[in-house]
Amino acid sequence: MKKLVFMALVLLLALSVLTVSALAEEKDSGGAIGYISFLNLSEEQIMARREGERPAFKYLEEHGVLESAEQGIPRTHMIPYDSLDAMLMGLLSGEINAIEVPDCTAKYLCAVNDRVKQAVFFHPEKADEFSQDLIGWLGSGYSFMMLEKNSGLRDQFDQAIEAMKADGTLEELVRVHITEAARSGKPEAVNFEAFDGEPIRVAVTGSLPPMDYVAEDGSFAGFNTAILAEVGKRLEKNIELVQTDSVGRALALAQGKVDVVFWSRGASEAEVTSGAPSMNKEEFEAFIQEKRAKQTEEETAIMSGLNSVSPFEEYWSRDMPEGTIT
């Protein structure tokens, strides 16, 4: 029987993620946790945030929303990696004792590699209103990223995605190309329709399969091909995929090598508040104040702690260089 290497996973709920913990075997890695590097946050900032998140995770565990398969796991420091392959190598070599990835990526890795094992499980049916708020705060929303000067293209993408949500297409693509593909370990490619005109060049990394998947032979498959093929069809635009590593995706965008980055974690404060078209900024802030008024002293303390270690703008723009939009 092959030994198991436990890894830290991130839970994917809709378009948000939660970090969870794991255990290493044999080699003492000092409780190090690997993660895909953020474009705007240093290792010190990430570690400070993780320390500030402890009460929030404790709350979720006490309320049964998170269930740890392994207890007492040290988290002494965080180590960034520029790709999933490099991070997996660090895990399997004992350089780190756990990694953080979206839940769909965790399930995919478990399906294709019997040396890794999921360590923490999520029970969304047990999440009360405050737990849902914590999940949103602790998580990472995944978005397309573009330059500010391409706001017109961003608006076209938004309209296509909203239409896909409205007619159920997006939900079906997620079910087939994320949920089912993660369980089977077999992402499938979707063919792109051809149209007249210049293509929209989209950077993909392969670092978050099956959501962002690139096969060993360099071919593209998974959810990235499925959703981009659908966007291209609705916009009647050609889509050209360009592989970049995670840390290089923003540079490729800035240098004009691509028009769109397939995924970015977070959003600017303006985009978050404008994301609810029925609310202006003042109404949005009033909405947040109303939610806070319902919180217990414990819940207020948890949220205050999160705000102190991770200010709103810093957190939501952690993967967005200046001059970009999502």
What is the per-residue pLDDT across 17-76, written as a single tens digit (0 to 9) for each?
323 333 334 444 456 788 888 888 888 888 888 788 888 888 988 998 887 765 544 455
Q: What does the pLDDT read at residue 260? A: 97
Q: What does the pLDDT read at residue 281? A: 67
SS3 18: strand
**294-311 per-position pLDDT tens digit:** 889 999 899 888 878 766
Considering the chain, tell me which residue range(s) the CATH 3.40.190 domain(s) occupy: 142-265
- From the DSSP assignment, how many helices (H) and strands (E) are in the chain? 13, 16
User: Nearest to residue 7, comparing CAs of 23, 19, 18?
Assistant: 23
User: Nearest to residue 324, comparing CAs of 203, 207, 243, 198?
Assistant: 203
Q: What does the pLDDT read at residue 132? A: 81
The single residue listed with the structure tokens 């099956």 is: 210
User: Nearest to residue 123, comparing CAs of 115, 111, 131?
Assistant: 131
User: Nearest to residue 189, comparing CAs of 160, 224, 234?
Assistant: 224
Check residue 38 and report its DSSP letter: P
On the CB side of 88, CA atoms within 13 Å amount to 18
Q: What does the pLDDT read at residue 230? A: 97
Residue 120 is inside which H or E element, if any? Answer: strand 120-122
100: β partners: 35
**Which residues make Cβ contacts (< 8 Å) with residue 159, sequence separation at least 6?**
none
What are the residue ranges in the chain where pLDDT is below 50? 1-29, 72-74, 275-277
Q: What does the pLDDT read at residue 70? A: 55
The number of residues making up the chain comes to: 326
Q: What does the pLDDT read at residue 102? A: 82
Q: Which class for 223: exposed (0-12), middle (13-18), buried (19 or more C-beta within 10 A)? A: buried
Rounded to two decimals, what is the model's pTM? Answer: 0.82
SS3 72: coil
SS3 117: strand
CATH number of 142-265: 3.40.190
Q: What does the pLDDT read at residue 306? A: 81
The pairing of beta strand 220-221 with beta strand 66-68: unpaired
User: Nearest to residue 32, comparing CAs of 19, 22, 20?
Assistant: 22
Q: What does the pLDDT read at residue 133? A: 79
